[in-house]
A and B are shown apart, each in its own frame.
Chain A
Amino acid sequence: MSSQLDPQAQEDLLNPRERSFTQRLATAADWRSAILIPFLAVISALIIGLIMIILTGSSFSEAMNAYLALLDGSVGSLRAISETLTAATPLMLAGLSVALAFRAGLFNIGGEGQALIGGMFAVWVGFSITGLPIFIHLPLAIIAGILGGAIWGFIPGILKAKTGAHEVITTIMLNYIALRLVDFLLKTTMFQREGRNDPVSKNIEVSAEYPTFLSGIDSALRVHAGLFVALGAAFLIYWLLFRTTIGFEFRAVGANPSAARYAGISVTKVYILVMLIAGALAGTAGAGQVLGVLGRTTPGFTADLGFDGIAVALLGRSNPWGVVAAAILFGGLRAGGQQMQVSASVGIDLISVIQALIIIFVAAPALISAIYRLKTPVASAQISKGWGA
């Protein structure tokens, strides 16, 4: 009997208001917070970016040229679009990972570690097995990535469920562990490429690579089949969240854990399952980078994917299709930023600044409402909610 009242459930009962921030994220419902706010956030961030370019000594027309280069590099040509989608693919998966956890009231900061482990699993299957046809080898490598990420997500999930350890702390720590574990593994004979002293893994077999489906038109078109895996995942998560009993439970726990417990939902089971799936999604992201872009792993090969995933989930309001849209936007900024750096010599760091600004605006919707004088405050949460409200 005592197992029913584990520490986490207790915390939830005593402290039901504590997760209001994730709750807010988990329940963005009306179109205003779903579309208008993110849109205005992007516009505002771009305007501030423009001002920053000018303040750092460029003329207005130079600044506009930089933005034109940004636009050109993200959607100006087939190649630009290919680059945008290539960058967007892992962001979708990493964003879905964070978004799913948000929906259940959990903050998955561990996407980075989960992607790293997933990538290592995938690269190992990718190089160590030979002689398989692609339709067996590639799925095996993807599944390995899913598995690796799931394991790395399961750990914080079970820790939270059984001991009440806060997932933010544990996922951050697991990021560090994963990062160093990769460094270590890349120096072992199991992973390290023969004849190399630096930490770099063996190359995966061609049969484990995601096909680049447009390379027939132009070999520089890098966009790969991982895109469809990511879109499929978005569909699957949407379906899971809104069409299944499992998603009902996830959302109930995210919105009101004590009501979920009242309804007979095992909050702890939900925590474990959510982190498992979130980890699997991030693992798929990491695996996708290995199988679709890099072909091998190096220290920190995920390049902050997990953290960008948080930004994407925030901008996408934790809605799977919102996440897809946000990932494409961020992918476009990445791809366009390269072009901007080359042809307008504005540093790509500006892109990171713009991304960060977008997130600040999205996370503080009141700010946007104030700037654009939107009618009725967006966060007009029911302030008076006694018995009578």
Chain B
Amino acid sequence: MELELRGITKAFPGVLANDNVSLTARSGQVLALIGENGAGKSTLMNILSGIYRPDSGEIVLDGKVQKFHDPGEAIKAGIGMVHQHFMLVPVFTVAENVVLGVEPTFFGNILNAKKANKEVQEISQKYGLAVDPKAKIEDLAVGLQQRVEIIKVLLRGAKVLVFDEPTAVLTPQEVIEFFGIVAELKSRGATIIFITHKLKEAIAIADSITVLRGGKVVGHADPKTTTQEELAAMMVGRPIDLTVNKAPAQPGAPVLTMSSVTMTDDMGRALLDDINLEVRAGEIVGVAGIQGNGQTELIEAITGLLPLAKGQIKLKDMDITGSKPRQIHRDGVAHVPEDRNEMGMIGSFTVAENLVLDSYYSQPYSHGVRLQRGAIDEGARILVKDYDVRPPHIENMASALSGGNAQKMIVAREFSRDVPLVLCAQPTRGIDVGSIEYIHEQIVRKRDEGVAILVVSTELDEIFALSDRIVVMFDGKIVATLNTSETDPTQVGLYMAGKNS
């Protein structure tokens, strides 16, 4: 199915999110849509899938002009949006989730489980989307959950598939599998739109690349001939240096010391298994590992969000084992959380409120119990400017920020604190190359100021670009501690896969 967007324009209060955007996507091809944070990619796709209505412009499918009043109509017309989060019911099986809403019912609303299982099986065989229809969603890895989402839209007859940053939460292995799925869909004539911030990926799988900036299409590129540098420059409007420039670390005294830290779940299984870790002032320690191997627990142990079963955590000379999160925060730990929507921000609060989310109770943001709006707004205006959060309207709801700008807001909040230890979990997830460059610079600047930094990332590139030392986590344990200069991604990759070479 050929898709054409003609002159799509969409304004939000104070922002022109899409400004006369036209593009074409062809059957059996992958169109990569790239652009800075806030360039209007998600907005455009939300228009295509009927979630927003454009102020002007047309959606044309196989030469016919379409008008979508709601997502249901877009689905009927063959548009399938693959969402990443929260669209599946965790306690339902794969088949139940897939047929939810289009149950092949027998009589009224009785779920015909057999038929549902069969339909899922058929689709997953046809497209090579191996997944057990009877498995519960909550037991599946993120990559498999994504497959379920894909099956869901295929079952509804989607001819145009939209993926909004599908690889942001996938492991490297899952990304490879995902590309396989995309190739299969392509060969069966699907029209695919793929949004990503990873230029490497765009070059690897797209047939054509369209670049958005400030709501406008600023150019097209041919993946066969273009380079990451060229794409980055088109996106941001200036050349980008994709490598991190930093002098060798000058590590000082230990700031974070974890000794024999163990954490267990309700069933007594070890989530963290005898962790010994030291991060010294003025060094960046990168935690590599496939998602779900204890990195989240490691961070939440340090911040006091999850209780330890045993072990000790020290901040400088202070024992912070068992302290409350508020106390640890005060003692001097900044934390960019892994899950920005669930933890890092409150969507219905303003940008200014989010910028004091964990310091609202301290001077100068409050006197006694009275919040000082003036001080809060003033601080927010400075941070929004320094960290280039766009649009810079501090009184807007945080939920109106694009994904990457929300991340910048959180980074701004945590990095602006003058503390000895900064924990960054996936600090650049969903962020455009220009902002990655900036955030990486900030991390290095903090290090050079003598701050101890722990970076958790599933991106090996990021780990290698930033870290002075690398620890690899596997199954709740630290399986390797390496000097960045003495190792390489292949070796780390083996440790990540649990193969203690």
Contact = CB atoms under 8 A, between A and B. Distances in A.
A211 interface: no
Given A262-B343, A384-B51, A255 B349 contact: yes
B403 A389 contact: yes
A262 B52 CA distance: 32
Interface stretch (B38-46, B119-127, B175-183, B486-494): B38-46
Contacts of B324: 4, 264, 266
A245 B357 contact: no
Given A386-B83, A386-B165, A255 B348 contact: yes
A1 B308 contact: yes
Please report whether the interface of chain A is mostly helix, strand, loop or mixed according to DSSP: loop
Interface in B331-375: 335, 337, 341-349, 353, 357-358, 360-361, 366, 369-371, 373
A217 interface: no
Given A4-B304, A245-B361, A255 B165 contact: no
Contacts of A384: 42, 45-46, 49, 51, 81, 83, 164
Interface residues of B, number: 60
A27 B349 CA distance: 9
A383 B303 CA distance: 31
A380 B52 contact: yes
A244 B348 contact: no
Contact of B305 (A16, A23, A252, A261): A261
Interface string A251-274: 110011011111111100000000
Contacts of B304: 4
Contacts of A247: 371
Nearest to A244: B369
A258 B335 CA distance: 14
Interface string B54-78: 0000000000000000110000000
A17 interface: yes
Contact of A5 (B81, B307, B335): B307
Interface string B148-172: 0000000000000000110011000
Given A2-B307, A252-B357, A261-B325, A383 B371 contact: no
Given A4-B304, A248-B371, A259-B357, A387 B429 contact: yes
A265 to B, nearest CB: 8
B344 A259 contact: yes
A131 interface: no
A105 to B, nearest CB: 11
Contacts of B342: 16, 256, 258-259
Contacts of A196: none
Please report whether the interface of chain B is mostly helix, strand, loop or mixed according to DSSP: loop
B216 interface: no
Given A2-B307, A245-B369, A385-B341, A263 B357 contact: yes
Contacts of A387: 84-85, 165, 168-169, 403, 429-430
A251 B403 CA distance: 23
B125 to A, nearest CB: 27
A116 to B, nearest CB: 31
Contacts of B346: 252, 255-256, 259-260
A2 B266 CA distance: 12
Contacts of A17: 86
Contact of B371 (A244, A261, A376, A377): A244
Contact of A251 (B195, B303, B349): B349
B322 interface: yes
B306 interface: yes
A388 B42 contact: yes
A382 interface: yes
B138 to A, nearest CB: 10
A26 B81 CA distance: 29
A356 interface: no
A389 B401 CA distance: 9
A180 interface: no
Q: 8 tightest CB-CB pairs across the interface, nearest first?
A: A386-B84, A264-B326, A388-B165, A27-B348, A387-B168, A387-B430, A1-B322, A263-B358
14 contacts: A1-B322, A4-B307, A244-B366, A245-B369, A256-B345, A259-B357, A262-B357, A264-B324, A264-B329, A376-B52, A382-B347, A382-B399, A384-B49, A388-B84
Interface of B: 41-42, 45-46, 49, 51-53, 70-71, 81, 83-86, 164-165, 168-169, 195, 303-308, 321-322, 324-327, 329, 335, 337, 341-349, 353, 357-358, 360-361, 366, 369-371, 373, 397, 399, 402-403, 429-430
